[in-house]
């Protein structure tokens, strides 16, 4: 729900101004900008309502921890903060450190809480949670690198959204900093590092390994 909110607001004319998302007209193209702002607000809010009222079988204290973690991942210290730096960087030359800051906040932070929430609710050891965090940060960054690469190598038909826009608006991207080939190599390296964080989790970690592998395997 938080992800969908962020995409609806991200697509707004004042932000990325995207007309298509997953092959469909974006929310504001169909319902208008006013409704799109409100739909994003409602979905963001509903995420917290859902967790607070529908989480059973976990101690309330752990549920509160997940709510605080999610809020931190979305707010000024997370997704919103990354987006602000991203907007402020458009048209400027930025270094690798700034680009990584943007994506660790815009993309990886929400993945991090998505991956750790279950462990937190189950009362996992802090060491396990730290390993899951590193796993999520690495696949988050790899996802963004691949996203940047696909914006150059894929088609809008395959992706269901506009392509070539990053270059057009001179957006800072990994392929621009490193070139395509090195970007692909780094994404694979991050995925391998992510998977190595799961060593010893055995069969339970299979879905997380599959998700990590999918990051670099996807072509759209």
Closest to 133 measured CA to CA, from 74, 198, 68, 64: 198
Pick the binder of its own copies from 4, 29, 35, 213 (CB under 8 A).
35
Rounded Cα distance, 10 and 195, in Å: 30
From the list 28-36, 103-111, 157-165, 180-188, the region that binds its own copies by CB under 8 A is 28-36
For residue 193, what are its two tokens?
């590092």
Is residue 40 close enough to count as binding its own copies by CB under 8 A? yes
152 binds its own copies (CB under 8 A): no
Q: Token digits for 74?
A: 């979305």
Q: Which of 54/219 has CB closer to its own copies?
A: 54
Query: If DSSP states are collapsed to H, E and C, what string results for 171-207?
Result: CCCHHHHHCHHHHHHHHHHHHHHHHHCCCCCHHHHHH
Toward its own copies, which CB reaches closer, 41 or 130? 41
Residues contacting its own copies: total by CB under 8 A:
43
Residues of the shown chain interacting with its own copies in the complex, contacts defined by CB under 8 A: 5-6, 9, 12, 14-15, 32-42, 44-46, 48-49, 52-53, 59-61, 63-65, 67-68, 70-72, 74-76, 80-81, 83-84, 87
């Amino acid at each position: 729900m938080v992800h969908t909110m962020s995409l609806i607001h991200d697509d707004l004319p004042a932000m990325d101004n995207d007309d298509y998302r997953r092959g469909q007209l974006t929310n504001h193209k169909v319902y208008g900008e006013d409704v799109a702002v409100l739909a994003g607000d409602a979905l963001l809010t509903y995420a917290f309502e859902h967790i607070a009222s529908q989480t059973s079988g976990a101690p309330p204290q752990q549920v509160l921890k997940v709510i605080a973690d999610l809020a931190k991942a979305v707010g000024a210290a997370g997704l919103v903060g990354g987006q602000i730096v991203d907007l402020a960087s458009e048209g400027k030359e930025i270094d690798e450190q700034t680009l990584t800051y943007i994506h660790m906040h815009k993309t990886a932070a929400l993945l991090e809480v998505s991956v750790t929430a279950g462990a937190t609710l189950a009362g996992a050891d802090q060491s396990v949670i730290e390993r899951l965090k590193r796993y999520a940060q690495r696949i988050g960054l790899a996802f963004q690198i691949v996203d940047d690469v696909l914006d150059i190598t894929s088609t809008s038909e395959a992706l269901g959204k506009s392509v070539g826009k990053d270059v057009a608006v001179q957006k800072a991207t990994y392929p621009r900093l490193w070139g395509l080939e090195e970007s692909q190599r780094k994404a694979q390296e991050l995925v391998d590092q992510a998977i190595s964080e799961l060593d010893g989790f055995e069969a339970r970690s299979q879905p997380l390994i599959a998700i990590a592998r999918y990051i670099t395997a996807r072509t759209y």
